[in-house]
Amino acid sequence: MGVTLGVDAGSREVKFAAYGDGEVVFRAKVDTVRFYLTCRNGAGLDLSKLPELAGAPRWRRIVATGYGRNNVNIHGGATLPEIMAHARGAVWQTGLTDFTLVDLGGQDTKVIAVKGGAVDDFVMNDKCAAGSGRYLENIARALGASLDELGAMRGEAAALSATCAIFGESEVVGLVSEGVPVEVILAGANQSVVKRLAPMIARYRPRIIVATGGVAKNGAVRAMLAEAAGVEVITPSDPQHNGAIGCAVA
């Protein structure tokens, strides 16, 4: 039946996954701004100009989702709503049909109730990127830590109160000046992500959580989330390409 290329145009990165013969055979990521600058061609987007896709198998079909869904007019491509793409990706990757999906992206956080393999309800964060991937990136950068280092910090956590992804940085600077150890601040940043998520998750009373998106690679956030929700948190093998995989298998 040929290969389908799934495209998930996120706020920070565009993810690609190619699916054929029952498996994901190719994955790639491109910076979102570079993606648009490279591919823009008239009113649409031309993927043939992307070096990252040079090694991809020949695809017969393109299915796209993401922020771009309304802006991504890929030549010859179909589109899928973002929530559906993520739910399908998680069902395909985990083999589960009933779970609460938590997708932690660059600027959007989605909590999706999946029942019988279909979307039953969903909620997304309000107009604020606090507690998102972008927030964590900013905090880690401000403290000179890598994302891997950040993902290991789950001990004593500083209470971070800022409700803004930008002011969060100045709060962190304040804590450093007071002598609070960097590890404690990083753990506090992880904790703040989970605190922001908790009210969104609570309404679905999850029995099992599947975490996807770039932030799902952060082990401390996963552990804190499991502790806060009191349920198992599963991360599929490829959390960041989940939306692209959902498109590719659609």
Binding site for another protein (CB under 8 A): 67, 69-71, 80-84, 108, 118-124, 126-127, 203, 250
Q: Taking the complex as a whole, how short is the minimal distance between the CB of residue 164 and another protein, in angstroms? A: 11
Q: Taking the complex as a whole, how short is the minimal distance between the CB of residue 70 and another protein, in angstroms? A: 5
Residue 108 or 238 with smaller CB distance to another protein: 108
What is d(CA 158, CA 176) in angstroms, rounded to the nearest whole number? 11
Residue 2 or 81 with smaller CB distance to another protein: 81
Residue 21 or 126 with smaller CB distance to another protein: 126
Q: Taking the complex as a whole, how short is the minimal distance between the CB of residue 202 and another protein, in angstroms? A: 11
What is d(CA 203, CA 123) in angstroms, rounded to the nearest whole number? 10
Residue 124 or 184 with smaller CB distance to another protein: 124
Residue 84 or 130 with smaller CB distance to another protein: 84
Q: Taking the complex as a whole, how short is the minimal distance between the CB of residue 1 and another protein, in angstroms? A: 18
Residue 141 or 203 with smaller CB distance to another protein: 203
Q: Taking the complex as a whole, how short is the minimal distance between the CB of residue 165 and another protein, in angstroms? A: 15
Angle, to 10 degrees, between the axis of helix 167-177 and the axis of helix 182-202?
140
Q: Taking the complex as a whole, how short is the minimal distance between the CB of residue 10 and another protein, in angstroms? A: 11
